[in-house]
Amino acid sequence: MFKFYDVLKFDEFTSTMAEALGFDWRYVMYEEFNVQVMYWMGVSLALVIWVRPTLIKRKKVVIPDATEAKTLTEILPGETGKVLYEGSFWKARCADRFSKIEPNEKVYVLHRDGNRLIVTLDKMFQS
């Protein structure tokens, strides 16, 4: 068990070793020492904030070409609607800006544009 007198013994040991080696704390703890410690902490924090994100590997989500989805809402020309894609609800826009897609229709996902899927009608692939 750790007792306080163990600390005193350690302190006596370090002070005798410091005297034997000729070590003096005045050479380490001078007036500008606190400024140097604060500067070191600031630079370390800045480097951690700047370097750490570059070391984290992020997974890129890749949507396979022409996979199926089902529309939940109507997708008007130039507007967005909602589709059910692989069990998740996504905002979607039609690839053809002049056509309208009705609800509960099967569509194909062409690609992803940010948080929005670009879809086209199933009928375009069947003709």
Between 84 and 61, name the one with better pLDDT: 84
| pLDDT at residue 7 is higher than 60 | no
Q: Residue 65, by phi and psi: left (phi above 0), alpha (psi -120 to 50) or beta? A: beta
pLDDT band, very low/low/confident/very high, at 9 (cuts 50, 70, 90) = low
The residues that bridge with 80 in the sheet, in sequence order, are 93
The pLDDT score that the predictor gives to residue 27 is 64
pTM (predicted TM-score): 0.49
Among residues 47, 65, 46, 36, which one has the least CA distance to residue 125? Answer: 65
| C-alpha–C-alpha distance, residues 105 and 34, integer Å | 69
